[in-house]
Each structure stands twice: as C-alpha cells, then as structure tokens.
C-alpha cells in the first residue's frame, strides 16, 4: 500500500513539474519578441555618431510681466464698461449718492456704494506685500521683492556690474506713524525716502536713527499751488518738490493727506498733461470722502477717470472701517486705501520678469 501511494505521488509530481515548464515556456515565448522589438526600435533611433552636448537654454514657464499686465488691462477695461453701465441705470446719474442704500429696502434697488464703481480689477504682475503695521498706517506694495533685490548704491563697485538705481519713495502724511517708512528702508537697500507733513516736526519714533542718511523729512504740505498759508505753513505742488530734489521719476508715491489728494493730484496731472504720462511707478493712496460739497459722484468719477487716462490702474483696495466701528458722525466707509499701478510707465521696475 505504501509503495502504491509513493507511485501515485510521484506521478502527480511529474505532472505538476511538466505543467510548470509549459507555463514558463509560454510566458518566455510571449515576452521575448516584444522585448526584442523594443530593443530594435530604440536602436533605430540612435544616431550614427554621438552628438556634442550643448547647454539648452530653458525659457521661463508662464507669462511675462508685460503679458500679465496686458491681460490685466483687458480685465480693467471690462470693469470700466460695467461702471458706466451701472451709473446710467441709476435715476440720479450723474448725481448718484455715495452710499445710496441707507435702508434694507433700498439695497434691492441700489446694491452698491461709491467704491463698487471703482473695483481693483488690475492685477499686480508680481508679489503683493504689506509693509508697516497692521491696521491704519501699513501699505500694500506691488513687486516688493523686486525693490528688495536692488543693491545699495555704495555696494556697487565692480566695473562689469551695471550701475544701481536708487529707489525713490515720496511719502505725504506722516502723523507720527512711520512703520511703513521704517519697513521700506530696512528691506530696500537702495531706498531713499522723502517725507512731508506740515502737522508734525519729524518722522515717527518707529524710524531707526540708523536710516538717517536715507530718510529726508521736511515740514511742508502737499497742495495744488505753491503757497504760504497761515500760520506759517508752506505748501508745495508735487512737481515743485520733485524739482527741488532734482528728481524726474518717483518709484513709489504714498499719499494720505485727509481729503486734499483731489486738488493736489489735479495740479500734478495738469503739469503732466503735455506728456500724457505721470512719472510715477505706483501709488499708495488713502481716498477720503470728507467734503461732500466739493467732491460728489460726478467730480470723483471725472477725477478718477482722468487718472486712468494717465495710465493709473487700481490693483488693490482696502476699506478703512474706523468711522463705521466708532459710530460717530458720518458712519459710512468713507476712507479707502488704493494701490494704483502705472500701466503706461516704461521705466517701471514692475516690467521686469522675476
């Protein structure tokens, strides 16, 4: 019986072994032609001679800064058309109230404020960074990293290195709060700041004395004309101050002058009328609606669109809610921070590709 069992097991062993051999042979037969075909195919692509390897010039992925700005221009133009369309639909146009909806029932008919007519539809082609303290006083800067990369003038000494440019910054409205100016000077080695404010005697305490050589303050006001106001307060136009400093171009212009921005920029636009271009790269400005008798919707729109005709494009908007939260007097959001990028400016650092 035992011998019989051994014989049966032996038979099953050889059957299993033969089955294994057949399977292996079948798989090998199926794979070898394909592998040979692949080998012949790869060899057919090989060149007869080994080529000399030369470095390949890689192109940057994505759009250039100019291309991004052109796309932004299309978006901005669309918003202008919508602005005019929305204004025409209002029965009081062009005397549209700044804040038409004062009750919930009004919102269904006029679901917007003045600021909704002027959205920030233009895109900064580079990084947007906030400089200065949080809340009132800090400002948004388009392309901050590009300004940071500019070396200090004294640091450029090699003959083969192109001469460095100063980053000229004008700051109107200091009011003892200089975190923005301190941040710009500490982060941009090439920055030279020219600050003006008739209401204070110097920069705020936030500015380190180590930046004294690059921080210039004068107790002047920015105005529509050059004049001496009482009591003993000197005002100058922007183009007069630029001439005094021997400047033909401003990289960054910061303005926070409590409602005087309309007439001051009107005067500067008058000065730039012959060229049609404002020699300013970008503007950080707080707009104020504090004088309803002299600045209404019609006046604001004409002023804004004149700036647009010079190339200014709104790229950022930040509403100042101080009046709303304090709940005293006019409680509408009447102060808004804007950043304008000069689309027509051929000197702008923002045209560079990072």
Mean pLDDT of the chain: 85
Q: What is the Cα Rg of the chain in Å?
A: 34
With bands split at pLDDT 50, 70 and 90, how would you rate the model's confidence at 31? very low
Domains of the chain, by residue range, sit at 1-40, 65-351
Quickly list DSSP for 205-235.
TTS-GGGGGGEEEE--EE-SS-EEETTTEEE
48 CB-side CA count, 13 A: 0
With bands split at pLDDT 50, 70 and 90, how would you rate the model's confidence at 58? very low
Given a contact cutoff of 8 angstroms between Cβ atoms, the answer to whether 198 and 234 are in contact is yes
Section 18-23 average pLDDT: 57
What does pTM read for this prediction?
0.79
Least confidently predicted of 43-57, 185-199, 290-304, 309-323: 43-57
Instruction: Count other C-beta atoms under 10 Å from residue 95's C-beta.
Output: 10
Give pLDDT, residue 323: 77
Give pLDDT, residue 44: 35
CATH superfamily of 65-351: Vaccinia Virus protein VP39 (3.40.50.150)
With bands split at pLDDT 50, 70 and 90, how would you rate the model's confidence at 327? confident
Q: Which H/E stretch holds residue 302?
A: helix 297-309
Section 131-150 average pLDDT: 95
Rounded CA-CA distance 279/277 in Å is: 6
Least confidently predicted of 133-142, 157-166, 196-205, 208-217: 157-166
Stronger pLDDT, 136 or 225, i.e. the higher one: 225
């Amino acid at each position: 019986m035992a011998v019989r069992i051994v014989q049966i097991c032996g038979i099953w062993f050889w059957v299993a072994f033969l089955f294994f051999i057949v399977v292996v042979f079948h798989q090998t037969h199926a794979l070898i032609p394909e592998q040979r075909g692949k080998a012949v195919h790869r060899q057919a692509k090989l060149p007869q001679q080994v080529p000399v390897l030369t470095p390949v010039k890689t192109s940057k992925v994505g759009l250039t800064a100019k291309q991004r700005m052109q796309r932004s221009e299309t978006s901005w133009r669309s918003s202008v058309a919508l602005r005019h369309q929305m204004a025409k639909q209002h029965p009081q146009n062009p005397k549209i109230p700044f804040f038409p909806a004062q009750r919930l029932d009004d919102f269904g008919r006029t679901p917007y404020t003045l600021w909704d007519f002027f959205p920030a539809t233009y895109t900064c082609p580079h990084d947007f960074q906030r400089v200065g303290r949080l809340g009132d006083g800090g400002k948004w800067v388009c392309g901050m990293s590009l300004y940071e990369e500019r070396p200090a003038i004294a640091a450029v000494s090699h003959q083969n290195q192109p001469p460095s440019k100063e980053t000229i910054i004008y700051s109107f409205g200091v009011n003892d709060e200089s975190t923005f100016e301190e941040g710009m000077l500490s982060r941009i080695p090439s920055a030279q700041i020219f600050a003006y404010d008739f209401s204070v005697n110097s920069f705020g305490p936030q500015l380190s004395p180590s930046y004294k050589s690059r921080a210039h303050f004068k107790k002047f006001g920015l105005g529509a004309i050059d004049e001496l106001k009482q009591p003993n307060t000197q005002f100058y136009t922007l183009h007069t101050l630029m001439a005094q400093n021997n400047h033909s171009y401003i990289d960054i212009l910061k303005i926070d002058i409590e409602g005087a921005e309309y007439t001051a920029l009107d005067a500067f636009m008058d000065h730039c009328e012959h060229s049609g271009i404002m020699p300013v790269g970008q503007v950080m400005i707080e707009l104020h609606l504090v004088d309803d008798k002299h600045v209404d919707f019609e006046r604001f729109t004409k002023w804004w669109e004149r700036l647009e005709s010079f190339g200014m494009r709104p790229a950022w908007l930040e509403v100042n809610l101080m009046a709303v939260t304090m709940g005293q007097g006019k409680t509408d959001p009447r102060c808004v921070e804007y950043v304008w990028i000069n689309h027509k400016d051929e000197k702008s650092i923002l045209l560079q590709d990072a």
